[in-house]
A and B are shown apart, each in its own frame.
Chain A
Amino acid sequence: AQSVSQHNHHVILSEAASLELGCNYSYGGTVNLFWYVQYPGQHLQLLLKYFSGDPLVKGIKGFEAEFIKSKFSFNLRKPSVQWSDTAEYFCAARSNDYKLSFGAGTTVTVRA
């Protein structure tokens, strides 16, 4: 089974700062990768996903992620965060079955 690790437990930054959240997965074969966001009190929403092709994936709300196969990584980035980006961010990976394995999540707090 996949395991997914997220390096940062809690990130605090100011508006307009750049954000990068680390994510590593364990599976060596074909893998699908996802970043989900959970705003306070809300359900998970998909930010972006990678299946194949261009390793730099653009998502919603100005987020992007880069798949680096050699590093088993799929880091999430945003060049300039807003207060409304305050949320919990989850990296997830899926291999050959239907199971989606989630990382432990990173809490992002953006200060105005």
Chain B
Amino acid sequence: DTAVSQTPKYLVTQMGNDKSIKCEQNLGHDTMYWYKQDSKKFLKIMFSYNNKELIINETVPNRFSPKSPDKAHLNLHINSLELGDSAVYFCASSHQGAGPYNEQFFGPGTRLTVL
């Protein structure tokens, strides 16, 4: 019944490795997002896809590459991991647009630790 799910929940890896985080939503939404929450709990949007097209791309290192195989999935691939990438990554989804019913639903988060 999980609306927005992410895997894995925890990810511990060495510097320099490449890793992926997967996100899936079963809400029928057409827009999905990736947020990064740093150690001070500050949440910042990284990417957003609408109908598999990139619509928001904040200032994020190009080591981060989102991929949306279909409307229900938005994966995040990170190359050459660095210590500063350690954070909690949240996926979210919503209907398109900024209307009153287009609230974002968040996944449980993936805690990434880079050693």
Contact = CB atoms under 8 A, between A and B. Distances in A.
A46 interface: yes
Contact of B44 (A95, A97, A102): A102
Interface residues of B, number: 28
A43 B56 contact: no
A97 B33 CA distance: 13
B98 A44 contact: no
A104 interface: yes
Interface of B: 4, 31, 33, 40-45, 48, 50, 55-56, 90, 92, 94, 96-100, 103-109
Query: Can you list the 9 inter-chain pairs with the closest CB atoms, starting with the nearest?
Result: A51-B100, A102-B43, A44-B106, A105-B41, A43-B108, A43-B106, A104-B42, A46-B103, A98-B48
Given A43-B109, A105-B43, 19 more contacts: A42-B108, A43-B4, A43-B90, A43-B106, A44-B90, A44-B92, A44-B106, A49-B100, A51-B100, A95-B98, A97-B56, A97-B98, A98-B50, A99-B56, A104-B40, A104-B42, A105-B41, A105-B42, A107-B41
25 contacts: A32-B98, A38-B41, A42-B108, A43-B4, A43-B90, A43-B108, A44-B90, A44-B92, A44-B106, A46-B105, A49-B103, A51-B100, A90-B43, A94-B98, A96-B98, A98-B55, A98-B56, A98-B94, A98-B96, A98-B97, A98-B98, A100-B45, A102-B42, A104-B42, A105-B42
